[in-house]
Amino acid sequence: MSFDPISFLERAVQTPSHEGVDEMRALLVSTLEEHGASPTIDDAGNVVASKGEGQPHVVLNTHIDTVPPHVPFERTDHEIRGRGSCDAKGPLAAILAAFLATEPSTGTLTLAVTPDEETASTGAAHLDLDADAYIVGEPTGLDVCVAARGRFQGTVTIGGTGAHAAEPSAGVNAISGAAQAIAALDSFDAEFGPAPHPRLGPPTLTPTLVEGGEATNRVPSQVTITFDRRSVPPESADRLFDLLGQHLRAHTPDTLSIDVEPEDRPTPFLEAFETDPEAPVVTALQTASGGEVRAFGAATEASYFAKDAPTVVFGPGHLQDGAGPVAHGEREYVTISAVEEAGVALEDALETLFDSE
């Protein structure tokens, strides 16, 4: 039975996976079994299947979860529309086509599909595959992405002294302190930030949520600012949080308390990564796809794998197009031709990688 990536993609997009992935994972497992593979589900919910043995070991990876809300399936002559069509069930369909079509005479090909890339990445953090190269499926417009910024999240809690609003001088206003702290976020990189990266540009530090105040007639005693950090090499999460605390303390009055804390999460933050553009996995996939070698626009689980071996991000679809957001958007879509082209390019690149050894 030959595998049809478009038929699979139609079924996948009609399988909601924004609240749980059990149904989508069952579809993936049954599809692999129908085509002769022997997948397993590990303790973290990853679907893993391998063929061949020895070196090189190449891993194909993507994820089956999607962001809410679900967007219903629709097909036109040229497009598959709906939630997950490009992020990342379109890339998954292309990866499946390549995995099922490839029979390495020497070396090992592994498919590893994670369940929670959009949230905590516990699946990816659990994987220990000891590979020689990773190809991570995400919507890149068939470009070969060799770098991505990291994503850290944390909070700044400003503590003041509550008082009656009729006598504001009797207290210390945490909201006023928050305004000073937000201004200090803007100046952090000039003092402590890494230099702009040749591919990724400068890091960003963005306040995304402010919560505070207890009553309309009371000087507020506490405000919490949530911030989003998009990092570039060589910045680590530990270094960011340490330096940010020092910077904010130096730029706010001593009458306020300042507490900087990382997001409480069960897995490491996704840190920035960069792969050598001359690595064999890059050249093989670029030659096969004809795509540009560039940076990816979002944080990705490729961050975990890049610590192990050269890693690229590749797939059909776009994060955004000329009309606005695509991935995670209300008009998410992928073109049928791009999914088919991605599958062929992946198959050709794998043939090159296994034949080159």
The per-residue pLDDT for range 40-58, each reduced to its tens digit, is 999 999 999 999 999 999 9
Structure tokens at 230: 């998009």
C-alpha closest to that of 51 among 63, 42, 60, 43: 60
- Encode the chain in three state secondary structure: CCCCHHHHHHHHHCCCCCCCCHHHHHHHHHHHHHCCCCCEECCCCCEEEEEEECCCEEEEEEECCCCCCCCCCEECCCEEECCCCCCCHHHHHHHHHHHHHCCCCCEEEEEEEECCCCCCCHHHHHCCCCCCEEEEECCCCCCEEEEECEEEEEEEEEECECEECCCHHHCECHHHHHHHHHHHHHHHHHHHCCCCECCCECCEEEEEEEEECCCCCEECCEEEEEEEEEECCCCCHHHHHHHHHHHHHHCCCCCCEEEEEECCCCCCCECCEECCCCCHHHHHHHHHHCCCEEEECCCCCHHHHCCCCCEEEECCCCCEECCEECCCCCCCEEEHHHHHHHHHHHHHHHHHHHHCC
Q: How far apart are CA 186 and CA 192, in angstroms?
A: 11
pLDDT of residue 355: 85
Average pLDDT over residues 141-168: 97
Can you tell me the distance from the alpha carbon of 104 to that of 107, in angstroms, rounded to the nearest whole number?
6
Residue-wise pLDDT for 178-192, tens only, equals: 999 999 999 999 999
Note if 128 is an active site residue. Answer: no
Q: Residue 168 and residue 180: Cα distance in Å, rounded?
A: 18
Does the pLDDT of residue 272 top 60, yes or no? Answer: yes
Say if residue 93's pLDDT is above 50.
yes
Percent with pLDDT over 90 in the chain: 99
Is the confidence at residue 2, as pLDDT, over 80?
yes
pLDDT at 357: 47
* Spatial distance between the Cα atoms of 42 and 24, rounded to a whole number of angstroms: 16
Q: Is 130 a catalytic residue?
A: no
Q: How far apart (Å, rounded) are the C-alpha atoms in residues 72 and 289? A: 30
Q: For 121-143, what is the mean pLDDT? A: 97
Residue 19 has pLDDT above 90, yes or no: yes
What is the pLDDT averaged over residues 62-87?
97
Q: Are 188 and 205 in contact (CB under 8 A)?
A: yes
Token look-up 């900087």 returns 260
Please state the rounded mean pLDDT for residues 64-79.
Answer: 96
Find out whether the peptide bond into 181 is cis, omega within 30 degrees of 0: no
CATH 3.40.50.850 fits 5-148+272-355, yes or no: no
Decide if pLDDT at 340 tops 60: yes
The overall average pLDDT reported for the chain is 96
β-pair type (218-219, 163-164): antiparallel
Per-domain boundaries in the chain: 5-148+272-355, 150-262
Domain 150-262 annotated CATH 3.30.70.360 = yes
Equal fold, 5-148+272-355 vs 150-262: no
Catalytic residue among 10, 117, 235, 332: 117
Q: Of the listed 65, 116, 301, 347, which one is catalytic?
A: 65
pLDDT band at residue 356 using 50, 70 and 90 as cut-offs: low
pTM of the model: 0.93
